[in-house]
Chain A
Amino acid sequence: MALLTDEIAGQLKEEFARLAQPVRLAVFSQALADPESEQVKRLVEELAAVDSRITAESHNFVLDKEKVEALGIKRSPAIAVVGAEKDYGIRMYGLPSGYEFGSLIDAIIDVSTGDSGLGEPTRAALRDIARPVHIQVFSTPT
């Protein structure tokens, strides 16, 4: 049974009309260790089926060391949301359900359009920051 209902898939199709550049969703999982791994993989595959600009790929967190290293994946299950021309460093850990599903959809659109939605004063202030800053948002299932 599909994780995305026909109704949700239809709404996503409309939302994804705004997509610009292709987006890669790279899943890293280890089926034996994570009960949620299979669901994360299926969710991402179903999202890729909604719009051809979204591609799904799946890697083994333990075995595919080169990919894990290249995308800086720290844990499993993980989804890396990567733009065609730029990796903005967006990673989601765990199964994005409930409210976090919306965060994943927003991340896909932001990466595809290359637009964070931040205001100009914020962007100007961020341009003055000379070193990478790691931001983590922690949530629980809703």
Chain B
Amino acid sequence: VEVTGYPDLAQRYSISSVPKTVVGETHEFVGAGPESMLLKHVQDAAADPAGGLVA
């Protein structure tokens, strides 16, 4: 998502630094990380009844 065209998303996900990755609604990190870190966020989001899936 190139966020400059979607200020509502920038606000909703508090995008101040990029790249920012948001998994589900609430699991997030800024910058690049190892594959294991992304996996951890995906597992956490999948296990979180509130923070999992949204479209």
Binding site for B on A (CB under 8 A): 34, 36, 72, 74-75, 92-97, 100, 118-119, 122, 125-126, 129-141
A135 with B42: CB separation less than 8 A:
yes
Binding site for A on B (CB under 8 A): 1-6, 9-10, 13, 15, 18-24, 35-36, 38-39, 42-43, 45-46, 52-55
Neighbour of A132 across the interface among B1, B18, B43, B53, CB < 8 A: B53
Q: With CB as the reference atom, state the residue of chain B lying closest to A78.
A: B1
Neighbour of A131 across the interface among B4, B15, B52, CB < 8 A: B52
Residues of chain B contacted by A134 (CB below 8 angstroms): 23-24, 53-55
Neighbour of A130 across the interface among B13, B18, B24, B46, CB < 8 A: B46
Residues of chain B contacted by A140 (CB below 8 angstroms): 2-4, 18
Q: B19: shortest Cβ distance to chain A, in Å?
A: 5
B4 with A141: CB separation less than 8 A:
yes
